[in-house]
């Protein structure tokens, strides 16, 4: 060290005012833009270094090719093939978008591990979801609070409860059979896009099951027409702030309007059950549990079925709609397409539908009848396996999580278990890319391979509506098979998968329906 340096550093230490002046002089010599450039450079280097640290040894781009934003632009239009390439790149892979570090787990066992590690992870919702679904909503609960609330809700989806919802659902199915036929007639029975009709029927069926006759036809139509605005508002890539006339603003308006309707329905259900009325929908079943717990000896019943406010009930019912709408619409699109494209499958469904009704096509649905639809149930299950509506479920890491012996997911990162690869695992499902309902016969590899059945997730957040889905779809496809002939126009995009929250045929599903005589199979012109 030279004498000069010692002197100058001495000076710096002994005289702060001189230090300040020197710094000010230095700053004057560099222009503002140089400063900005330097800051950007530091930011860029920090971004890359932080990415490398978090990435560790797992698969993923070597560097963030687009600094800071990462593949943000691609996420506006997610492609199924790109997701698949990512899953194939390694059992753990990563990507970084802005400050979010995202880790994708593609193997069955790692996906299961994540679903079941509630100590380390919780479901990840987009920032704006809290505003749209409201902060008080039960879906944002974690740990014991979540488990307790779930136990309150489980009673609404038992076999016995579901059987109460069937009659009003069936009436609605009859209505939509006629609607689909008339809608096709309007177009001279030439195939037309049915994507929106599928979303509408699913929304209407859910609303009927949840709210029974408390919700009016006009309200059902309004919610069914507008609900897609909620889906659009809750897409993974959206502004976290609600600005008037943007997607999130429209989404919130629809959510508030829908919850207001549900609040009114909850009040009517309370009055109906208090007056000794019969339970025919989810709200009734809920009020009945609350009512019964008041006279129950069980402290547990009193705890789980305490008095819920109308607002609380409306928020919960909204989460059922939110959880069901996109996934059920996806399943509806695929099942109508797949069955139409396979006349042998349709013929077997029809044969079974007549059998379970003892030859009377107008026999009303019951849970026992649906249980006896062995083949139809296999078709529903195979559709869910072949085209799982939900392909990935984002979770967020609450504390550093050792996902494998060599990789720890850092706190704050997004960790995504995938469902599709486990459901296309050739070890459990031979020829996984073929649609084979028979693979589900009792005792088969597929039906025994429970660990691979991740369609509805697993662990504390496993889908609340899974039994409801299987029941509703077996009933629905069975009735359409009996009372309609439907045709699908196959296009080059029919088997291409479009990702819009869940997955859909890229051509939006071109169908036409005609009325069918269930006894002769002949088409009846209306």
Residues that bind ligand HEM (CB under 6 A): 115, 123, 139, 150, 319-320, 323-324, 327-328, 331, 389-390, 393, 455-459, 461-465, 468-469
Q: Quick one: three-class SS letters along 259-296?
A: HHHHHHHHHHHHHHHHCCCCCCCHHHHHHHHHHHHHCC
Q: Is 203 helix (H, G, I), strand (E, B) or coil?
A: helix
CB of 330 to ligand HEM, least distance (A): 7
Q: Which DSSP state fits 377?
A: H
Of 242 and 331, which CB lies nearer to ligand HEM in the complex structure? Answer: 331
Instruction: With CA atoms as reference, report the closest residue to 232 among 246, 242, 247, 254.
Output: 247
DSSP string, 31-76: -HHHHHHHHHHHHHHHHHHHHHHHHTTSBS-SS-SSTTT-TTTGGG
Which pair of tokens denotes residue 349? 């469904």
CB of 324 to ligand HEM, least distance (A): 3
Distance, in Å, from the CA atom of 212 to the CA atom of 117, rounded to the nearest integer, reads: 37
Q: Let me know if 75 is exposed, middle or buried by CB neighbors in 10 A (0-12, 13-18, 19+).
A: middle
CB of 328 to ligand HEM, least distance (A): 5
CB of 52 to ligand HEM, least distance (A): 30
Distance, in Å, from the CA atom of 173 to the CA atom of 142, rounded to the nearest integer, reads: 37
Of 64 and 387, which CB lies nearer to ligand HEM in the complex structure? Answer: 387
**Which of left, alpha, beta for 426 (phi over 0: left; psi -120 to 50: alpha)?**
alpha
Of 468 and 480, which CB lies nearer to ligand HEM in the complex structure? Answer: 468
CB of 41 to ligand HEM, least distance (A): 41
Whether residue 166 contacts residue 366, with contact meaning beta carbons closer than 8 Å, is answered with yes
Of 161 and 455, which CB lies nearer to ligand HEM in the complex structure? Answer: 455
Distance, in Å, from the CA atom of 323 to the CA atom of 332, rounded to the nearest integer, reads: 15
Cα–Cα distances in Å, from 16 out to 21, 25, 507?
9, 14, 72
CB of 385 to ligand HEM, least distance (A): 11
CB of 388 to ligand HEM, least distance (A): 7
Q: Quick one: three-class SS letters along 459-512?
A: CCCCCCCHHHHHHHHHHHHHHHHHHEEEEECCCCCCCCEEEECEEEECCCCEEE
Of 161 and 373, which CB lies nearer to ligand HEM in the complex structure? Answer: 161
CB of 116 to ligand HEM, least distance (A): 9
Of 94 and 463, which CB lies nearer to ligand HEM in the complex structure? Answer: 463
Residue 153: count other Cβ atoms within 10 Å of its Cβ.
17
Of 320 and 336, which CB lies nearer to ligand HEM in the complex structure? Answer: 320
CB of 352 to ligand HEM, least distance (A): 21
Question: Per 3-state DSSP, what percentage of the chain is helix, strand, and coil (rounded to 5)?
Answer: 55, 10, 30
Of 185 and 424, which CB lies nearer to ligand HEM in the complex structure? Answer: 424
Annotated binding-site ranges for heme? 463
Of 465 and 475, which CB lies nearer to ligand HEM in the complex structure? Answer: 465
Which pair of tokens denotes residue 10? 């001495």
Instruction: With CA atoms as reference, report the closest residue to 239 among 252, 248, 251, 228.
Output: 248
Q: Is 95 helix (H, G, I), strand (E, B) or coil?
A: strand
Residues pairing with 46 in the sheet: none
């Amino acid at each position: 060290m030279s004498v000069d340096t010692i002197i100058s550093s001495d000076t710096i230490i002994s005289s702060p005012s001189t230090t300040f002046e020197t710094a000010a002089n230095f700053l004057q010599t560099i222009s503002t833009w140089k400063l900005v450039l330097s800051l950007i450079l530091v930011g860029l280097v920090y971004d890359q270094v932080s990415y490398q640290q978090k990435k560790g040894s797992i698969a993923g781009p070597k560097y963030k090719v687009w600094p800071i934003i990462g593949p943000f632009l691609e996420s506006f239009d997610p492609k199924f093939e790109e997701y698949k390439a990512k899953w194939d790149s390694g059992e753990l892979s990563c990507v970084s978008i802005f400050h979010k570090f995202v880790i994708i787990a593609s193997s069955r066992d790692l996906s299961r591990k994540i679903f079941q590690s509630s100590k380390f992870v919780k479901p990840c919702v987009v920032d704006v979801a809290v505003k749209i679904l409201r902060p008080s909503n039960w879906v944002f609960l974690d740990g014991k609070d979540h488990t307790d609330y779930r136990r309150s809700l489980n009673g609404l989806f038992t076999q016995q409860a579901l059987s109460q919802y069937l009659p009003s659902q069936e009436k609605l199915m009859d209505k939509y059979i006629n609607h689909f036929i008339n809608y096709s007639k309007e177009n001279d029975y030439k195939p037309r896009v049915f994507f929106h009709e599928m979303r509408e029927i699913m929304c209407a069926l859910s609303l009927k099951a949840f709210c029974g006759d408390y919700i009016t036809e006009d309200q059902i139509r309004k919610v069914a027409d507008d609900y897609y605005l909620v889906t659009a508002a809750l897409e993974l890539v959206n502004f976290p702030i609600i600005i008037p006339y943007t997607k999130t603003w429209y989404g919130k308006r629809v959510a508030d309007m829908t919850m207001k309707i549900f609040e009114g329905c909850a009040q009517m259900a309370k009055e109906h059950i208090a007056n000794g009325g019969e339970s025919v929908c989810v709200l009734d079943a809920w009020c009945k549990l609350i009512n019964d717990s008041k006279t129950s000896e069980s402290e547990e019943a009193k705890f789980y079925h305490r008095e819920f406010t109308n607002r609380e009930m409306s928020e919960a019912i909204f989460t059922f709609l939110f959880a069901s709408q996109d996934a059920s619409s996806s399943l509806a699109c695929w099942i109508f397409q797949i069955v139409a494209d396979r006349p042998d499958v349709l013929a077997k469904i029809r044969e079974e539908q007549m059998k379970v009704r003892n030859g009377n096509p107008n026999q009303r649905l019951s849970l026992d009848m649906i249980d006896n639809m062995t083949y139809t149930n296999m078709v529903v299950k195979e559709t869910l396996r072949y085209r799982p509506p939900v392909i990935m479920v984002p979770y967020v890491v609450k504390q550093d999580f050792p996902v494998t012996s060599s990789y720890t997911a850092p706190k704050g990162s997004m960790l995504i278990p995938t469902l599709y690869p486990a459901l296309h695992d050739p070890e459990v499902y031979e020829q996984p890319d073929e649609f084979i309902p028979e693979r589900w016969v009792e005792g088969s590899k597929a039906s025994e391979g429970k660990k691979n059945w991740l369609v509805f997730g697993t662990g504390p957040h496993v889908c609340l509506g899974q039994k409801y889905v299987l029941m509703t779809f077996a009933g629905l496809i069975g009735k359409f098979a009996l009372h309609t002939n439907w045709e699908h126009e196959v296009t080059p995009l029919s088997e291409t998968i479009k990702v819009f929250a869940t997955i859909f045929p890229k051509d939006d599903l071109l169908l036409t329906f005609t009325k069918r005589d269930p006894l002769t199979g002949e088409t009846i012109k209306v």
